[in-house]
Amino acid sequence: MAILYCGARRFRQIITAGAERVTRNRDYLNKINVFPVPDGDTGSNMAMTLAAAVREMEAVSETSLEAAVKAAAWGALMGARGNSGIILSQVLSGLTEGIEGRDRLFAEDIALGLSRGIRKAYKAVLHPKEGTILTVIRETAEKAVEKARSEKDFSKLIEGMVESAKSSVERTPLMLPALAEAGVVDAGGQGFLCFLEGMLRLMQGEVGPDVPVEEETVFEGNPQEAAEHHWNFRYCTEFILKGSRISEDAIKAVLADMGDSVVVVGDTRLARVHVHTGRPEEVLHYASTLGRVSSIKVDDMLVQHTARFGSAEASKATSVIAVALGDGFKELFYNGGAELVVDGGPTFNPSTADMAAAIEEVASSNVIILPNNKNVYPAAVQAGERSPKRVSVLKTATLPEGLSAMLAYMDDATTEDNLSRMEQAIGGVKSGEITSAGRDVILGTVEVRSGDSIGIFEGKVRCSSLSREEAVLSLVEQMSDSTDEMITLFYGDSVTKEEAELLRSTLQSRHEGREIELYYGGQPYGHYVVSLE
């Protein structure tokens, strides 16, 4: 059924639906916000602006279309946040012209209102940039005007606008290099598209789940890395100015000297002003000479940006070399900050030459080596003595000891500092291993049959069992004392993840109150390595 006009009730409904879809996509829009300033708040700003429009519509008691449209425009203007919010408020105000006494809006009214609105928005922004929300709305308005000539069905018109807006949004990275570098589309433009989509969904009566934009959009770049920005104008400053003879152009001209992203909208008695400046106090002082200043909001965008994307990493003073066996262990060492992990080989016994090559290969002249085995220690020390670099070899005798030391390493600390932290971390971790016995033997009180799983701790066989899980449980019993807080299991190549998970829950049920952690070690010989600390 064709919808031929929009009355007060439908107007309220579609604006509300549009606002809701923007709100639902707020976080995504924040994330892709890189232009003009990567402060990650476009989604929040648009959502808050539209929420203000909706609130104002709900607050007016009058039920006429005129009252609803004016309330939406007024609410958006008073609640406008950020550049994109002000632009949205102008678009809504475009609809208010000639609304007096009308009780219906037809397709061409929407098209013309949008055109008027976007013209106002261009005027409001000091340096309009293409490839932003402005372009998306302008092209959508042009399409709407063209379509409204023949199309009287309201929902068909909005459908056409959504299509046009979508293709506009997709082209924004072609117009704005900052977007292309970041691998995103313009956040404001995307927000406007969401707004239209929300309206369309309502009119088409869609009841299915409202799929958030992010799931539909593929993006390849990393907005955080590409977003380089100069922070001379780091304070996003907004306020409302009430006076008697406010001149938008005069304000814009003065503010242009104090900052950028200048937006001024309103009339001679009331203006909403937005500027990015390094000196918010001066801006506010200037404004106070023109009239009464209210609703002041000043955000430090550098704080917002740093908060969002973190600050630069410090350079590396120390290179750590670890010797390990198994992909899982290697990965854990790399993840902990090792620059190079030397494969221990089948006998966990790399040659002095292997160690010397590793020492030469790493970047820093300060090297810390984690041998992680008693056999490797002498080779590492020898290689270190021959090298012109400053090499320290820590006495890590097991992989868990090595990992403890690795975790204590901090990228931005000095070499001395790291050495003492890492040395300290070695103590306090007990480590055992479950492996298969190669032959029948009696070791002390433990009777071992070939093929049994045996548990080794502190160089001694502590238990033997047909089941490797039983061996783990028994070994842990023997290793543990009341001060241990945490049991860590590293499962080897021969164990499946499911088996390991099962063992972990059995272990958890026997050691309530202790943290049990499970990692893939990938060691080729032992079934499990287990540590307690």
Partner 1 sequence: MKIITDSTADLPRETYEREEIGVVPLTIRLGDRTWSDFFDIEPDDYYATLRESTASPATSQPSPQAFIDAYEPYATKGEPILSIHISSKLSGTYQSALLARSHFPKATIEVIDSRQASLGLGMVVLLCKERVCSGASFQDVVTFSRDLARKVETYFSVDSLEYLKRGGRIGRAQSLLGTLMKVKPLLRLTDGEIHALEKVRTTERLLNRFVELTEEGSRKGRSLRLSVAESDNGEIASGLLMRLMKIPGVSLVHRCKLGGVITSHAGPGALAITFVEA
**Residues in the site for partner 1, rule: CB under 8 A?**
235, 280-281, 284-285, 296-300, 303-304, 306-308, 310-311, 313-314, 331-332, 335-336, 403-404, 407-408, 410-412, 421, 425, 428-429, 483, 485-486, 488, 515, 517, 519, 533
Query: For the packed helices 65-79 and 8-24, what is the interaxial angle rounded to 10 degrees?
Result: 30
Nearer to partner 1, 58 or 515 (CB): 515
Among residues 243, 254, 234, 265, the alpha carbon closest in space to that of 85 is found at 265
Nearer to partner 1, 383 or 425 (CB): 425
Q: Would you give the DSSP letter of residue 243?
A: -
C-alpha–C-alpha distance, residues 436 and 451, integer Å: 6
Q: In terms of CB distance, is 382 or 508 closer to partner 1? A: 508
The residue behind tokens 């494969």 is 343
Looking at beta carbons only, is 244 or 311 nearer to partner 1? 311
C-beta of residue 436 within 8 angstroms of C-beta of residue 451 = yes
Three-state SS at 328: helix
Shortest spacing between CB 401 and partner 1, in angstroms: 12
| Minimum CB distance to partner 1 smaller for 139 or for 238 | 238
- Do β-strands 259-266 and 270-277 pair in parallel, antiparallel, or remain unpaired? antiparallel
Mutual orientation of helices 42-59 and 65-79 as an angle, nearest 10°? 140
Distance CA 248, CA 262 (A): 11
CB-based burial label for 423 (10 Å; 0-12, 13-18, 19+): middle
Nearer to partner 1, 50 or 408 (CB): 408
**Closer to partner 1 at the Cβ: 151 or 299?**
299
Report CA 107 to chain centroid distance, whole Å.
Answer: 40
Q: Looking up tokens 């009252």, which residue turns up?
A: 67
Number of helices and strands in the chain (H, E): 22, 16
Q: In this complex, which beta carbon is closest to partner 1, that of residue 41 or of residue 186?
A: 41
Give whichever of 216 and 485 is closer to partner 1, judged by the CB atom: 485
- Distance, first Cα to last Cα, the chain: 71
3-state secondary structure 22-89: HHHCHHHHHHCCCCCCCCCCHHHHHHHHHHHHHHHHHHCCCCCHHHHHHHHHHHHHHHCCHHHHHHHH
520 bridge partner residues: 491
Is the CB of 45 or the CB of 155 nearer to partner 1? 45
Structure tokens at 461: 């066989």
- By beta-carbon proximity to partner 1, the closer residue of 135 and 319 is 319
Residue (94 or 400) nearer to partner 1, CB:
400
Closest of 502, 470, 471, 475 to residue 487, by C-alpha: 475
Shortest Cβ 215–partner 1 spacing (Å): 18
Contacts of 406 (CB under 8 A, 6+ apart): 320, 322, 332, 333, 336, 337, 338, 370, 422
Smallest distance from partner 1 to CB 485, Å = 4
Smallest gap from Cβ 17 to partner 1, in A, equals 17
Shorter beta-carbon distance to partner 1: residue 51 or 158: 51
388 prior amide bond cis, ω within 30: no
CA 229 – CA 282 distance, rounded (Å): 23
Contact status, residue 18 vs residue 30, Cβ threshold 8 Å: no
Phi-psi region of 513 (alpha: psi -120 to 50; beta: other; left: phi over 0): left
Nearest distance from residue 226's CB to partner 1, in Å?
18
Smallest gap, in angstroms, from Cβ of residue 472 to partner 1?
19
